[in-house]
Structure formats: structure tokens, C-alpha cells
Amino acid sequence: MANINIDSRKKNTFDAIVVGSGISGGWAAKEFTEKGLKTLVLERGRDVKHIVDYPTTNKYPYEFEHRGELTQAVREESPIASRCYAFREDAMHFFVKDKEHPYVQEKPFDWIRGYQVGGKSLLWARQTQRWSDFDFEGPKRDDFAVDWPIRYRDIDSWYSYVERFAGISGHKDGLQALPDGDFLPAYPLNAVEDYFKKVVGSKYANRHVISSRCAHLSAPKQIHFDQGRGQCQNRVLCQRGCPFGGYFSSNSSTLPWAEKTGNLTLKPFSVVESVIYDDRLGKATGVRVVDTNTKEVTEYYAKVIFVNAAAINTNLILLNSTSTRFPQGLGNDSGVLGKYVAFHNYSARISAEYDGLKEFTKDGRNPSDGGYMPRFRNLLKQETDFKRGYAAGFNASRSPLRDTSGFGAELKAQLLNKELGPWRVGSHMMGETIPKESNYVKLDASKKDDWGIPLLKISVDYDDNDAKMKQDYIEQMTEMFTEAGFKNITPNVSSQAPGLDIHEMGGVRMGYDPKTSILNKWNQLHACKNVFVTDGACMTSTSTQNPSLTYMALTARAVDYAVSMMRKNEL
């Protein structure tokens, strides 16, 4: 029996374990396997193979039973997930069903999840911007959260590294607040987007409208062909999974690349219950896994463990990883594990119409979704009564005027009318929220899920700073829209709960001081050196940029460090 146990442990032992197969987990898998390490990737959901498992990707609208819309039964089954813009008939199979994966909302929070190989990398909006030192220095300068233990110089080359492999389109805009990257050609602005860019540039010294930077292969290079990917076809059906590999996802890029090395073992249907900590050895030895379907418990072992289960689930796993050494969760000597959770504030929008430039219309689809205005508030100095600032999207479109009144031949004639209406313009804000101790996640003391794991309680909310920032966004965008001659300017302030932005961050934050943070500058647990976190949970603050590119860069950097320490026998 002893020999059987030894053989079983050997079979379940790897050089590295990666928990999660989304954007950061996929990058960890790629980096470890490329460096020769036998790597186990654990995914709680089902397998999704690139191309093979995109069942709706080439369907025409009329092939959907409900023409892409949701039935009332689906909405009732998933009232939270169905609020997401991408949760529609063509992509809802990539989302978690609310009833199957409950959680406790101490305050309203829309937790959007994708439990499958590739995670939410199949569903993300693909917007990619680098952070600058305005972002990494923000907490220290503006006196909130704790100081980031890294600066832009520490991650600059890693941004380039992941940009070249993933394929990021964009212009070199030369902006201090938004560093340029290693770009493929940018998607152009249309006539009205370019017009608004010129108006803003002429009227405001520190405000800029640029072409959105996105993870699409506008002009693929050899490294992308080597991945088996092709040029983006501008279909803008990305949430279905792209058969061309035109946008970056774990499924089309990093996981197949890792598989080609022969060093990858991918196990779907594997719910990670906890990280196993050995009090005697003073380090983690592996993870405990519950089979999604059979509920069978298995332990896997490795020298190094990357927890990349997506921000909130990563918090859950570490909080549930208790031992004699860590009774409050793995690495939680500081007591801040699960606290200082933050997100992006998307709860304000504004729309208008423009009667000019009627000699132009749109031609084709733009997967980058038009323009982007980097943060301009409180950048060089504090100029408002709120901390930090916001970025903004901007797009313009023009559609045929269609009158749907009437019946029969009259209705048909009206629907065939090719006369174009005015240009419609719109913007949404992406505000930086301030991490606070009162915004937290923790384990429920009595309720458990179907796999015997405590349910997570989420207590996250907006505050007065968010309200002031939102008001300023409306005021500033109204002013800029007015300067551009836009009409029928209509602000829209929604009551959506936090979480619907799908940019939750923190809870396992980086920092210099083990007394106030969980991770060091290498994304390594201060108190458990062979466990790393490089997904959204690691973030000390949120900035205003979309975070996924930063997760990729931090992951590649952390794996490089971990492997170097392993080769020195220091992990």
C-alpha cells in the first residue's frame, strides 16, 4: 500500500501548478512550459478547444431560435449574468449560470464569471493600454491604499514582450499618461470620431482622443502565424470565439503554444479547494482539488504554485487555505487578505447627435470600438474635489432611418429606405475607484457550495468619491460635446451595481510591507515564497486603464523570476 501511495504522489507531482486558464493563467502556462517545466493547469470548468468548441461562431442571425435575444426563462435563471452586454443567445454558453454558482451579496455586486478553459479571455472587450507612473505612483502621491512596490520601468520591457506575442493594434501617440507599446497598425477613427479628436485637441491642452488600442491582429506577423492565428476579419462577433484567432485569447494563443512544448497537462473540471501548506517545511506543497462532476478529492503537488483563478476566486482559494501557520488564510499575517477590493466605475454614459459630415458614413466594422480618451483629471496636479480620475470611450455611428409603423407593402417600403439619419455619438466613463478596507470579500461561516467550499460574501460599494467623479465626467463630456457642436446631449447615470464592469481587483494586493500587503514586488506571497498571484487579485490600485495587459506582463515577469529562483534552489 505504501508503494501505491508513493506512485500516486509521483504521478500527481509537477514542477509547477497553475490554477486557472484565463488570461493570466494561460500566460503562466506558456512561460513555464517554454522554460522546460512540467506544468499542470487546473480549470474548474469544461474544456473549450479553439475553433472546435465555438458552436455559434459562424451562425447567421436567422439560425438562432430567438434571433440572438434571451428568453424570460434564461433571464430568470441568470439575473446577474444576463445584465452583461455579451450575455446573449450567441455567447451565453460561455457564462456561469447564477443558480449553479451562488454567492452572498452583503451589498449588491454583479459577479460575472466564465468557468471554462480560457475563462473570460473568450469574452473580454480586448481593450489594452499600458499603465504609466501616474498609475503606479498614484497611491503614494494621493495618499490612499499602499505604495506599489514597482514602477513603470520594472514592467516596461514585459509589456513589450507580451504585446509582441499577443498582437496589440494601436498608434504611437506620444502621451505621457499612456505609454506607447509595440503595436500592430491601429484601426482608424471614422470621420466624426476624427472630427471630435481635432476639436478636443484644439480646445484643450491636456486632453486627447486616440484610436483605441486593442488585442486584434490588424496585420499579423510571423509570431502570430506560428501560433496558428490569422488576421482579424472585423466581424465583431468576438464573444462567440474567433475561428481565425483574430483576437487574443488563451484558447487561440497561449494554451496551444504551451501544449506544443509537450510540458503541459491541462485538467478541466477541477475545482481547487485550497492550497496545501506544510507547517514543517514552511512552504506550500500543492493544491487540493474537487472533481467538478464526481466530487472526488485529489491532491496535486509542485515546487511552485501560481493562483490565477480570477480576482475574486483567487481571494476565495487563499482565504480557504488555512493551516496551523495560517489560520486566517494562506499568507494572511497582515489580516488584509480579501480587503481593499476595488473596481472600475462604468456607471455613467452620455450620448448626442451630430448633423455635420453628412457626406460620410461608416464603412465596415471596427473591432477597437472607435476612440479612447486617456485620463486627464488630476494628472499633473490635484484640480478637483475627488481623488484620481477617469478615462472615456468615444464612438460615432450612422444608420438608415427606418420607420417601423404601418403594415404590408407600406412597411416593406419603409424598411427598405436607405436614407441615413444623423450621426449618433456616445461615450462611457471608466473611473478609478479607491481601494478601501470596507470593500472586502470573506468566507461565509455556514453556507457551502456543491463542492463543499464555503460561499463567498461580497461587500463592495461605491462612495462619495465615485459620485463626485461621475458628476465631473458628465460635466466635462457635456462641455466637450457642446464645443463640438453636438446636439440633443443626453447624460445617462445608471444604478448598476459594482462588478458589472468585470474589472474587480485587489484583495491580495502587492506592497513593500508584509504588515499591510500580501505580495511582494515579484507577485510572491511575503509569507509563503513558492506561491504567486498575478491575476486581478494582486492589484494595489486600479488606475483607469483596462487591466488585462498588465496582468499578462506581471505574469510573464513573475514566472521568469520564479524559474530563476527555482534553478538556484531558492524556492
Contacts of 32 (CB under 8 A, 6+ apart): 15, 16, 18, 39, 258, 263, 559, 563
DSSP, residue by residue, 187-232: PPP-HHHHHHHHHHHHH-TT---EEPPBSB-SS--HHHHHTT----
Instruction: Give the three-state DSSP class for 262.
Output: coil
Contacts of 83 (CB under 8 A, 6+ apart): 110, 496, 500
Pairing state of beta strands 371-373 and 454-459?
unpaired
Torsions phi, psi for 286 (to 5 deg): 175, -160
Give the pLDDT score at 289: 98
Torsions phi, psi for 432 (to 5 deg): -80, 125
Query: In order of start, what are the domains of the chain with their CATH numbers?
Result: 2-170+214-344+434-461+498-567 (3.50.50.60), 184-211+347-387+389-432+463-497 (no CATH)
Torsions phi, psi for 10 (to 5 deg): -65, -40
Contacts of 213 (CB under 8 A, 6+ apart): 127, 128, 129, 168, 169, 170, 171, 181, 183, 186, 368, 372
Give the pLDDT score at 411: 86
- C-beta separation of 492 from 350 below 8 A: yes
Instruction: Give the three-state DSSP class for 476.
Output: helix
Q: Helices 191-203 and 464-483 sit at what angle, rounded to 10 degrees?
A: 100
Q: How far apart are CA 303 and CA 15, in angstroms?
A: 6
Closest by CA position to 207, among listed 350, 356, 392, 353 = 392
Instruction: Give the three-state DSSP class for 285.
Output: strand
Buried b (16+ CB within 10 A) or exposed e, 376-393: bbbbeeeeeebbbbbbbb
Q: How far apart are CA 16 and CA 35, in angstroms?
A: 11
Contacts of 81 (CB under 8 A, 6+ apart): 87, 92, 95, 96, 97, 98, 112, 113
Closest by CA position to 375, among listed 141, 123, 207, 570 = 207
Torsions phi, psi for 153 (to 5 deg): -60, -30
Measured at the CA of 119, the angle between CA 35 and CA 286, to 5 degrees, comes to 50
Closest by CA position to 90, among listed 129, 122, 118 = 122
Question: Hey, which residues does 307 pair with through a beta bridge?
Answer: 19
Look up the pTM and report it.
0.96
Q: How far apart are CA 236 and CA 345, in angstroms?
A: 24
Pairing state of beta strands 528-532 and 297-307?
parallel
Give the pLDDT score at 401: 84
Pairing state of beta strands 454-459 and 440-448?
antiparallel
Report residue 23 as a C-alpha cell. Answer: 488570461
Q: pLDDT below 70 — which residues of the chain?
A: 1-6
Give 449's Cβ-side CA count (13 Å radius). Answer: 22
- C-beta separation of 125 from 507 below 8 A: no
Eight-class DSSP state of 453: P
User: In terms of residues, how long is the chain?
Assistant: 571
